[in-house]
Structure 1
């Protein structure tokens, strides 16, 4: 069996007049995240971890900053990347993520985020972990924006 690990990170600053989408969930907060798509840092980090594990470049190659992807759902982008991995005979084994955000408590949204990522990647909820950190009032994530890191394991049978 061929196993590979992937690592992805992302960060976006807060912006007025935008929705705050994280893990495909709209967060109740007066600011959103600035970005070309919906700026879902969690989905972006997950996408890059999957692409990295499969040696399929990065999110910018697959979803360039063109009109087609303007304000696009990052959760739908994750669905497309999952389909790409499946076409390449990769199976997603598990995902571990950490979101750093000091401006708003996110734990009440965890279950829905896990459900969204699980469905998008077609893996059991028990194989998806999302952790939240407050930043301890330090740096960018204390009140300027949000960052995320994701680590995934993918597998492919030796016959592929």
Structure 2
């Protein structure tokens, strides 16, 4: 049997009024959006960190520093594509990805199919290998006050 590894990723971004909200590569209509150096896509950042961690390739900040202007405003789908290349260089392939987004609004359930399509295309896997779930924080804390958004991801990678 081939070698497998599991990775875990987490990301959090502040929400700012009248700022774009990109999640899973989808532009969500909302009064606030995630703010950061790139497009601040917390879902993709958590997935990237899970994949990098599983392959023992450090973290997203190591590869895509927020001090590097090359990454300013960039689509996180590009970051995911780069992470997949890093994995391939070490003979790893993605088995599956399971992610959770925690936010009060907007509701993302209608957008999950498009997110899965975007991630599958960027990662070179099938949509069946991607699970995206969402929950609220029951109006508690910074998430409940709609000041921020959090994403968690786990992944399985397999040696080619």
TM-score (norm 1): 0.95
Q: Say what the alpha-carbon RMSD is for the aligned residues.
A: 0.9
Deviations 1:128-147 (A, max 9, x none): 00000011111121111110
Partner residue, 2:131: 129
CA offset at residue 84 of structure 1?
A: 1.1
Unaligned runs of 5+ in 1: none
The within-5 A match list for 1:1-160 is 1-65=2-66, 66-142=68-144, 143-157=146-160
Distance 1:103 1:128 in 2: 22
CA offset at residue 103 of structure 1?
A: 2.4
Q: Which 4+ runs in 1 deviate beyond 4 A? A: none
CA offset at residue 125 of structure 1?
A: 0.6
Deviations 1:43-87 (A, max 9, x none): 000000000000000001100111111111111100110111111
Count of residue correspondences: 157
CA offset at residue 21 of structure 1?
A: 0.1
Distance 1:108 1:124 in 2: 19
CA offset at residue 96 of structure 1?
A: 0.2
Distance 2:44 2:151 in 1: 9
